[in-house]
């Protein structure tokens, strides 16, 4: 089962990379930029085919992918007659759309996966199915029985028991009419909740089941949007805290400290966590699938946000350069001067290489930590 979890994670990761690059590809083609390559992986070409001017294929090292858009810098030579199709010559708005499309694709994947959880897989929720009736309680006196399903309170349909059951706590002891489904028949039960000083609220005296609940289409959309925003906010907090987590990671990697499940984790570690989820005996099949999908959704949202950081060679770094170009052009217009030449990212190569080196070192440390001191969720 662990092998299945690792394979599932690898496939999900590669599909995410493909969708990211497809975001760049489709927007670049929409603006008539010249796209010559769309590959999954790096290194030696294993298989490819050509459609129009673009070669699609797979390369030997499955460590990402790329979409080659011609004319990324003013030094890049374009075929004669196609100079206008260079990325560098596009408007700032079009550059930002093309560059941001990859991260947008990650957010979209995250949203769709979360929607799949709410609408298709289902989530653990408090149901209105009665599993126990407390003796000497209002429910027992009124005639509630285990197996009853509460479908309405005072004529108001129960759609979310966690929320709808608050009518009991807010009843002030007044009688409520419960519509109950029992053995396929609908009956009405009138009961007056009693105040329990130990709980400091009015209670009916029933214990309801916890089970899998699937939401309706529109509710799933709303809940997915809300969950995506929460994950985005948490990812932003994690990115802000990232520099403070690095010393902790070093101690955990080389000092023998236990790994923090909420700390930094690399691709190998994420694959290991996915394997633990898929093979867990503490979760049922629905919970395993839902948890795995949530991990993939969270990963996509984090990667999408990380990719927007204003650092070269990330897309966010290229977006920052495009925005800086537009700011320089704005001030030139204020001074009635011609638009200055765009910033050549080649002159920023030292910065790019520094960031790349730091990311490479962090990746290496994460790899060592994930292999020799892996994260455990105790599933």
- Which residue is it, tokens 């537009």? 326
The secondary element (H helix, E strand) that includes residue 67 is strand 54-69
In Å, the largest CA–CA distance within the chain is 89
CA distance 304 to 232: 9
CA distance 270 to 201: 43
- Mean pLDDT score across all residues of the chain: 91
How far, rounded to the nearest angstrom, does the alpha carbon of residue 3 sit from its chain's CA centroid?
23
Assigned token pair, 23: 């975001």
Domains and CATH numbers, the chain: 1-34+70-122+216-379 (no CATH), 124-213 (2.30.42.10)
- 3-state class of 58 per DSSP? strand
CA distance 285 to 212: 11
pLDDT, tens digit (0-9, with 9 covering 90-100), for 134-155? 999 999 999 999 999 999 999 9
pLDDT, tens digit (0-9, with 9 covering 90-100), for 355-375? 999 999 999 998 898 888 887
- 3-state class of 44 per DSSP? strand
The confidence score (pLDDT) of residue 1 equals: 65
- Which residue is it, tokens 């023998």? 256
pLDDT, tens digit (0-9, with 9 covering 90-100), for 27-82? 999 999 999 999 998 889 999 999 999 999 999 988 788 999 999 988 888 989 99
The secondary element (H helix, E strand) that includes residue 128 is strand 123-133
The confidence score (pLDDT) of residue 268 equals: 86
CB atoms within 10 A of CB 296: 21
CA distance 211 to 219: 18
The confidence score (pLDDT) of residue 105 equals: 96
Q: For the range 197-203, what are the long-range contacts, defined as Cβ-Cβ under 8 Å and sequence gap of 24 or more?
A: 201/169, 202/168, 202/169, 202/170, 202/171, 202/172, 202/173, 203/137, 203/138, 203/168, 203/169
Assigned token pair, 269: 């570690």
Indicate the pLDDT class of residue 235, thresholds 50, 70 and 90: very high
pLDDT at 192 over 70: yes
180: left (phi over 0), alpha (psi -120 to 50) or beta: beta
pLDDT at 377 over 80: no
Q: What is the pTM of this model?
A: 0.84
CA distance 323 to 92: 7
Say which DSSP state 119 is in. I
- Which residue is it, tokens 């309706």? 216
Assigned token pair, 341: 């030449």
Average pLDDT of the residues in 173-189: 94
pLDDT, tens digit (0-9, with 9 covering 90-100), for 208-229? 998 888 889 999 999 999 999 9
The confidence score (pLDDT) of residue 279 equals: 85
Q: At 169, phi and psi to the nearest 5?
A: -65, -30
3-state helix, strand, coil in the chain (%, to 5): 55, 20, 25
């Amino acid at each position: 089962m662990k092998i299945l979890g690792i394979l599932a994670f690898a496939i999900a990761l590669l599909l995410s990379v493909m969708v990211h690059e497809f975001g760049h590809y489709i927007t670049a083609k929409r603006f008539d930029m010249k796209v010559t390559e769309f590959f999954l992986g790096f290194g030696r070409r294993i298989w490819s085919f050509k459609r129009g001017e673009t070669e699609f294929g797979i390369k030997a090292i499955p460590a990402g992918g790329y979409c080659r858009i011609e004319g990324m810098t003013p030094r890049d030579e374009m075929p004669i007659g196609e100079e206008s199709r260079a990325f560098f010559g596009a408007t700032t708005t079009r550059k930002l759309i093309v560059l941001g499309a990859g991260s947008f694709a990650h957010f979209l994947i995250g949203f769709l996966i979360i929607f799949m959880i709410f609408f298709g897989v289902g989530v653990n929720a408090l149901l209105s199915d009665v599993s126990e009736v407390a003796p000497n309680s209002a429910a027992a006196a009124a005639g509630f029985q285990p197996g009853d399903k509460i479908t309405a309170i005072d004529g108001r349909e129960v759609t979310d028991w966690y929320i709808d059951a608050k009518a009991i706590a807010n009843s002030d002891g007044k009688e409520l009419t419960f519509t109950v489904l029992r053995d396929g028949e609908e009956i009405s039960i009138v009961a007056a909740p009693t105040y329990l000083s130990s709980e400091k609220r009015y209670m009916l005296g029933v214990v309801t089941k916890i089970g899998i609940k699937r939401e309706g289409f529109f509710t799933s959309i709303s809940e997915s949007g809300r969950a995506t925003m929460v994950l985005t906010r948490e990812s932003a907090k994690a990115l802000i805290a990232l520099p403070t987590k690095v010393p902790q990671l070093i101690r955990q990697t080389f000092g023998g400290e236990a790994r923090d499940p909420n700390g930094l984790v690399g691709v190998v570690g994420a694959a290991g966590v996915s394997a633990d989820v898929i093979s867990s005996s503490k979760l049922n099949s629905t919970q395993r699938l839902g948890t795995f999908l949530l991990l993939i959704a969270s990963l996509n949202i984090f990667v999408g946000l990380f990719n927007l950081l204003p650092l070269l060679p990330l897309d966010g770094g290229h977006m920052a350069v495009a925005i800086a170009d537009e700011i320089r052009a704005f001030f030139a217009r204020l001074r009635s001067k011609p638009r200055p030449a765009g910033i050549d990212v080649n002159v920023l190569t030292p910065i790019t290489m520094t960031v790349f080196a730091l990311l490479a070192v962090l990746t290496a440390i994460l790899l060592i930590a994930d292999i020799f001191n892996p994260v455990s969720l105790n599933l």
